Amino acid sequence: MLKTRLTDELRARQAELFELCSRLIQIPSENPPGDTTKLAAFIRDHLDSLRIPVEWHEPMAGRPNLVANLGTGSPNLVLSGHLDEFPAGQGWTRPPFSGAVEGGRIWGRGAGDMKAGLAVALTIASLVRRLEVPLAGRLTLALASDEETGGEWGTQWLLANVAAVRGDACLIGESSGTWSAGIGEKGVLWLRLSARGVSGHAAYQQGVSAVSAVRAAVVAIERMHGRKARGDTAVARVIARQRAAAERRWGRGTGRLADRLAVSVGTLRGGGQVNLIPEAAMAEVDFRLPPGLTTATVLKEARRRISRAVRSGVQVDVFNRCDPYVTSPDAQLVKLVLANAKALNRRTVLPVVRLGYTDGRFFRRAGIPTVVYGPAVHNMGGPDEYIEAAELLEVAIAHVGAVLDLLAPGAG
């Protein structure tokens, strides 16, 4: 059976999978600054060595995107991944780009977000090419820069400009943990609130405080936090099922967040010195929208609340927005990923609505069924990031199974 053959080959070559993940980690691709040229060149050369043609698209200097294809026709399954990662930061107990494979773990910045997913996609492409798997369709690798800073020049650009990336389904090896498969994500709306006042000596109160205006605006919209949305019945069932597991896996209080609006003030600046009435102030606010709400609705209410709360004008600017999108739990790719994952780890794998977003939101917005399934990442964004090597292998095997079930049906 073809699936058994590829799975056995993957297990036999698991050290190569781990080594590839390690090598990817050793090539820094921090964003900011966002330059992924060295990593993209390494991946291009790797695919060239496998005789897999690669397209290099660089709509923004220093942030290339790679697209590679195996097979032709339909269905077209896209394996999506991002090349950039968070900055390493401080506080590491080992070099942040060591890629060390020790004690059953693979260490380094980007290990789970998402060099592991890149290694899985590249390994699958390698297996398909080396074993000459007969595909009844196309396997497309879409590896993008710019994910950590919004995706405008990465996946969004690819979907708008490269036809092969607009596939029939999309599988992403972003971190999830093998207990869950992301079929949807909360929406995002980022607002910048700014106000201008009139400076004056604080003792005489001859001025207009911009800080007071922004503070009143923030208080008004923070009251929107916790609003529960009514979404699609099938999605509501998914959210209800994930609550208990989310509390255990994502942290206390997270089980209630998937179907509620979350509001957080990320930055707040104003004034220059303590004894002057501040003439300028600014705040940036993060909204995470559950399925059933739209950014247009939330923005309209935020503006209404601010206008009621503040006499002098507060300017409201949107600098990031995307509605929540959820792939149907009945979609073929969802069923295939869940079935392959369950067969491997012998436990129920839950479809979930993720609290944070991935590039999957752009595929879903384009009407492409999308699943996110990858190894759990420990200390993501902090020092000593790592993944479990066993989980990386488990994810790779589940991905291989789903790819074959979709693109080589009947091969076993």
Q: Which residues are catalytic, by number?
A: 84, 147
Q: Where are the beta strands (DSSP E) in 342-385?
A: 350-354, 370-372
Round to whole Å and give the CA distance between 84 and 195.
34
CA 248 – CA 139 distance, rounded (Å): 35
- CA distance linking residue 64 with residue 215, whole number of Å: 41
Closest CA relative to residue 199, chosen from 282, 307, 274? 274
Enumerate the β-bridge partners of residue 139. Answer: 70, 77
Alpha carbons 138 and 76: distance in angstroms, whole number: 5
Q: How far is CA 378 from CA 105, 163, 294, in A?
A: 10, 35, 32
Contact 398, 181 (CB under 8 A): no
DSSP states of 61-117 = TT--EEEEEEE-SSSEEEEEEE--B----S--SS-TT---EETTEEESTTIIIIIHH
Number of other CB atoms surrounding residue 167 within 10 Å: 26
Question: 3-state DSSP call for residue 234?
Answer: helix
Bridge partners of residue 276, in order along the sequence: 201
Residue 137, token pair as written in the block: 């369709």
Is the previous residue joined to 290 through a cis bond, with omega within 30 degrees of 0?
no
Of 335, 332, 327, 342, which Cα lies nearest the Cα of 397? 342
